[in-house]
Amino acid sequence: MSKGGRRIPALLLFLSLVLVTPGVASAQEEPTTTVAGTETTVGGETATTTGLRPAVEVLDEEEVAESPQWTYRYLIPTALVLAVLIILVISIRYFSDVVRKRYRVIEE
C-alpha cells in the first residue's frame, strides 16, 4: 500500500475522533434526583388525624420520566454513522482498486 493509501484512513480516523469527542463530552449530563413527599406519623397516627402539622410541608411531585442516558442519545448513533461511513469508504476503495487492476485502457 502506498503512503497516500495509508495516510487517508489515518487522517479520516483522526478527523472523526477530533469531531466526535467534544460532542460526546459535552453531552454528559449531571443526574437529577427528585424527592418524593412523605407523610409524617406520630405514635402510629398520621399528622392529619392528630392535628399536628410538620414545620415544612413537602408537596408530592410527580416523578419526572427519565430521559435516555447520553450514551443512547449521542454515542450509539454517532458510532453507527461512523461505521456506515467506514464501510462505504472501504467498499468504494476496494472496488476502485479491483476495477483499476482488472481493466486497462488500450490505445490504438
Q: What is the tens place of the pLDDT at every residue in 38-61?
A: 555 555 556 556 677 778 877 777
d(CA 96, CA 85): 16
Model pLDDT, residue 87:
97
Residue 76 or residue 21, greater confidence: 76
19-40 pLDDT, tens digit per residue, is 777 766 666 655 554 445 555 5
Can you give the residue ranges of every domain in the chain? 69-103
* pLDDT higher than 80, residue 80: yes
Percent of the chain with pLDDT over 70: 69
Q: Closest Cα partner for 74 from 32, 17, 28? A: 28
Is 60 within 8 Å of 36 (Cβ atoms)?
yes
Cα torsion 78, 79, 85, 90 to 10°: value is 160
Which amino acid is located at 61 in the chain?
Answer: E
Q: Is 34 helix (H, G, I), strand (E, B) or coil?
A: coil
**Crossing angle (nearest 10°) for helices 3-26 and 76-102:** 170
Mean pLDDT of 82-86: 97
Is 27 within 8 Å of 81 (Cβ atoms)?
no
pLDDT mean across residues, the chain: 75
Mean pLDDT of 61-86: 86
